[in-house]
Amino acid sequence: MKRVEAFKCEYCRRSRPYASASTCRAHEARCFGNPATHSCATCRFLEQGRERIEKGCDRPVWYCAKGREVLTTECSEWKRRKGNLQVNS
């Protein structure tokens, strides 16, 4: 067995480990979970709805309450979300 050192993003809940600190820092700079990127994942205007697929079957969908494209960064409408994002399946 060999001991290794790895780095994880401070903002991702399910982040994969990175072999170098510089690679991890580069990821964190663009991570959707990093509030500094002003992405949907940390914005108070991201909301979850339901989409019907067929009778008796629907799925969760995400949308922006301001009508902006979802999964973007550097959004001019961004406002910090209070608390963690709640995911309802």
Cα dihedral across residues 43, 47, 53, 56: positive or negative: positive
pLDDT digits (tens, 9 = 90+) for 53-69: 888 899 999 999 999 98
Q: Predicted confidence band at 42 (pLDDT cuts at 50, 70, 90)? A: very high
Give residue limits of the domains in the chain: 1-31, 38-78
For range 27-32, the mean pLDDT: 92
Q: What's the mean pLDDT when you consider all of the chain?
A: 88
- In this predicted structure, the answer to whether residue 7 has a pLDDT above a threshold of 90 is yes
**Per-residue confidence (pLDDT) for residue 87, from 0 to 100:** 57
